[in-house]
Amino acid sequence: MSKICPPEIISVKNLVTTKIEIPGYQRPYKWRLKNVDDLLNDIIFFSSKKPSYRLGTVIIDRSNDIDEIVDGQQRLLTLVLISKALEEKSMLEESDKFEIPLLKEDFTHSISRMNLLRNYQHILTRIGDFKPEVIKFFLYQCELVKVSIGSIREAFQFFDSQNSRGKALYPHNLLKAFHLREMEDASDDEKINAVQNWDATESLKLKNLFGSYLYKVRKWSKGKAAMDLTNDELDIFKGIKLSQAEQFPYARSFEMNNTFLNNYDKFSEDSNPPAYPQQLDGVIINGKRFFEFTNQTLANIEFITNYDSEFWNAIYSNQTSNILKFLRGNGGQNRKGDQYCKLLFENTILYYYSKFHNHQLEKILPIIFLWSFRERLNLKAVRYETINNHANHYNSLFHTIKEALDPSELLLYQLKPVKFNFENVYGLDVIFEKYNKLKS
């Protein structure tokens, strides 16, 4: 039976001399120089202020009879670098010398290798600030709380709960932990490959992927309001685990698709299988398929939000030229209301593209644009609540896209003309007038 051992307070020396392994699912080592400097400065400062200094918590998974770190990797590796620098500069007394098992670890990820080397070189330039009393303080009075757990599932659950208090992790951090946990039967190589693109993506892009796009599409397509994404609403990105022994009938088609793609090379000479057919509003497939899903959506957002991309050039015509010129310009888009309209437009395009790609998009683009920006002409001040209500209304374009089986069905969508009495609409009135959607 798995269990959580009582937390123990351990010194830096005890931690870095413990044989701890870094599992393949861990993200690369990414601490910046500022993070390293902050830690060094704290150690030096508190060495003369406190009898001891608490550095944080490390969570260890012991389910495979070895210690694997679940949380605290970034700080642990930095402590190892400081310890190695003390040894290299011969600053340790004979009684304080020790071996560091993690130095034998083979760090294959290029990002980890680069950051470890850069940070170590920086530490070497600063380690002279460690006077003998600071070194003793670092080794024996700087402490961490070590939590050892006998199950990887419980280790991640504890990790989630720890980071849901105080300064919480972003939702995408917790989603990564959850979906890696769902890959417990996969090899380390499979886990590394699954999160390779995720780890190479800026945190802000991942935050926007979920908060500004996926969350809104999944809520609006169901006729529900989409405010700010919080950690309490992450179940919207959790679905089914195909490796479970018992599957309900509705899950059979997902399992069949998954099996076919896993064995694609056996049935086709093409060694590059097609993407798993996941929809933005559909059932989430936990684990590997979730990461593929987010990778593809990130790529789609990249070209949809770049109005000079080939995606937009391919549909540039007399029918769409005035709309694309408006989007490529910056007419009014520094104002919050215009930004909300533009975000609605991009989410609608993203939703449409995920279902129909660019089939008939040249004809449907004006409908999506006019529907997304109509509130800008209808109201003097556009707030997010206005756009939110517009998007989740029962007669919204999101509902029509969700129900449509063919893109031509969107050509039947009825857009009511709108009248405006405001200034500074930056050419929107001209576009609405061209499509006969402006009242006199």
Rounded CA-CA distance 233/229 in Å is 7
pLDDT at 311: 95
Structure confidence by residue, pLDDT tens digits, 90-148: 999 998 999 998 888 888 788 888 999 999 999 999 999 999 999 999 999 999 888 88
Separation between Cα atoms, residue 241 and residue 178, nearest integer Å = 12
Predicted pLDDT of residue 363: 95
pLDDT score of 165: 44
Residue type, 193: N
CA-based nearest residue to 42, from 85, 12, 84: 12
Helix (H, G, I), strand (E, B) or coil at 68: strand
Spatial separation of the C-alpha atoms in residues 280 and 182, rounded to whole Å: 20
Domain boundaries, the chain: 8-162, 209-434
pLDDT at 166: 41
Helices (H), 225-335: 252-262, 264-267, 288-304, 310-313, 321-328
State the pLDDT at residue 399.
95
Q: How far is CA 223 from the centre of its chain?
A: 24
pLDDT reported for residue 167: 45
Q: What is the pLDDT of residues 6-32, one digit of tens each?
A: 678 999 999 999 998 887 767 788 899
Find all residues with CB under 8 Å of 37, minimum gap 6, and list them. Answer: 122, 126
Q: State which residues of the chain have pLDDT below 70.
A: 1-6, 25, 150-169, 245-246, 265-266, 269-271, 330-333, 421, 424, 440
- Position 128 scores a pLDDT of 94
